[in-house]
Amino acid sequence: MLNRKDPVREEHRTFSPGFHSKGSVGQTRRLLSLKESATLLGVSTVSVRRFIWAGRLPVVRLTRKIQVELRDLERLIDAAKDRLP
């Protein structure tokens, strides 16, 4: 068995926090899956679903797949920051 990378899996690597996931044309992706969103926030996918159900995180549904816009994740993080006087 040869040690070759599967091109399909290589193209669909999991999202790594601290790095913007790149699209095929080298642009930053705007939409993230629930799993990628959870990884970015450092929570479980169930927690992301709870944010959605509570109305704290809007979703995008272009197909049956639920996706989250990166800007909305940033807004959620900003809203959760403790601001001390």
The domain that holds 83 is classified in CATH as 1.10.10
Quote the pLDDT of residue 67: 97
Q: How far apart are the two ends of the chain, measured CA to CA in Å?
A: 62
* Alpha helical stretches, state H, the chain: 7-11, 34-41, 45-53, 70-80
Average pLDDT, rounded, for the chain: 79
Residue 55 resides in a domain: yes
Q: Rounded to 5 degrees, what are φ and ψ at 65?
A: -75, 130
Residue 20 resides in a domain: no
Q: What residues have CB less than 8 Å from 81, skipping those under 6 apart?
A: none
Q: What is the largest CA-CA distance in the chain?
A: 62
Residue 69 resides in a domain: yes
For the segment 54-75, the average pLDDT, to the nearest whole number, is: 95
Q: Which domain holds residue 49?
A: 28-85
Local structure of residue 41 (DSSP, 8 states): H
Where does the pLDDT of residue 76 fall: very low under 50, low under 70, confident under 90, or very high at 90 and above? very high
